[in-house]
Amino acid sequence: FEDRAREIIKKYAPDAKWEFPRDQLVIEQTLGEGEFGRVLRAKAFNIGGLQGYTTVAVKTLKEDARDAELNDLLSEYQLLKEISHPNVISLLGVCTSIGGPVYLIIEYAEYGSLRNYLRRSRKLLGDCMDEAEVHYDEPKQRNVTPKDLLSFGWQICNGMAYLSDIKLVHRDLAARNVLLAENKICKISDFGLTRDVYEDNAYLKRSKGRVPVKWMAPESLADHIYTSKSDVWSFGILVWELVTLGATPYPGIAVQNLFHLLKQGYRMERPNNCSPALYQIMKSCWHLDPEQRPSFHELLRQWEKLLEDRT
Ligand code: ACK
């Protein structure tokens, strides 16, 4: 694998601008693991113009990863080099030199994935009604308000509007692929071609890789067509995840039946405590005809109206 890996790495011409010295990176712990990939927390010394040690996240491969996964990691690197937006995760550096594994160094998001954040806050809010009994691991986590949820939706929409402007189709927009950084800033992450599974079973195993069926537009399911309008469909599902504090979409429905149900016009109903205006936005993302769905820029305007109406 080492020799082949070198060949693959060479293809992605080393880019001195992004190369970071391995000896200035101190790995601290594993944040998450998939079948072939691993996300680590580390401290990087003098990275990206920042003085001293900065906490960063490092994406790398596990020992038994194959060429395909290395290709994916390096394609993600190529994509991230071109991207710069406050609501999209940013690349800080890369280690591709001989003498160690390939490391993709990205911004660290202190609250982790939005899905896990939402689910943690649900426990704090609902399951235990007696405040005194709640043990807060993370005091800053405490107050997730309806205003936060609206802010998350707006930020994600903002990041997606940028990605659609630069003609980048995400293909896997979901709360598990949005990270929450300091000051509750949403960062869209994990775009690329195929991706690894981390801890949840949202992906249906298929010969061509794994498919996040419940987030996918009908045209993606049927014909593998991916556009910014199929990302809009997934955004609608993500809004549903926000409102339900990280529930799994289409509860009780088997993924095998979903396509037919959608074709027949079935859509998820309005969740409890979701305003009719917000439900309207979600539903508009779930038009069978991609052309009829709003663009991310249109969604952004609608979202801003929603925010204005609240104040
Ligand atoms: O919810 P989590 O703790 O946040 O679990 C997942 C896990 O790694 C696998 O994806 C976490 N993770 C991924 N990227 C980052 C990052 N840039 N900063 C902090 N945590 C991250 C994610």
- DSSP calls for 140-197: GGS---HHHHHHHHHHHHHHHHHHHHTT---S--SGGGEEEEGGGEEEE---SSS---
What does the pLDDT look like over 252-285, one tens digit per residue? Answer: 999 999 999 999 999 999 999 899 999 999 999 9
With a 6 A CB cut-off, is 31 part of the ligand 1 pocket?
Answer: yes
In the prediction, which pLDDT does 141 show?
A: 56
In the prediction, which pLDDT does 180 show?
A: 97
* Interval between CA 176 and ligand 1 midpoint (Å): 9
Choice among 67, 72, 165, 172 that is catalytic? 172
In the prediction, which pLDDT does 140 show?
A: 55
With a 6 A CB cut-off, is 113 part of the ligand 1 pocket?
Answer: yes
Helix (H) or strand (E) run with residue 202 in it: none
What is the percent of the chain where pLDDT is above 70? 86
More confident residue, 66 or 215: 215
* Interval between CA 291 and ligand 1 midpoint (Å): 34
With a 6 A CB cut-off, is 249 part of the ligand 1 pocket?
Answer: no
- The three-class DSSP label of residue 116 is helix
pLDDT, average across residues 31-42? 90
Pick the residue whose CA is nearest to atom 7 on ligand 1: 32
Catalytic site includes residue 172: yes
Judged against a pLDDT cut of 80, whether residue 237 lies above it is answered with yes
Q: How far apart are the first and last CA of the chain?
A: 58
Q: Which of 30, 33, 36, 39 to mutate to test the pocket of ligand 1 (most atoms within 8 A of CB)?
A: 39
Spatial separation of the C-alpha atoms in residues 118 and 175, rounded to whole Å: 9
The model carries a pTM of 0.89
pLDDT, average across residues 157-186? 95
Spatial separation of the C-alpha atoms in residues 5 and 19, rounded to whole Å: 17
Q: Where does the pLDDT of residue 139 fall: very low under 50, low under 70, confident under 90, or very high at 90 and above?
A: low
Q: Which atom of ligand 1 is nearest to the CA of 115?
A: 1
Q: Which atom of ligand 1 is nearest to the CA of 39?
A: 8
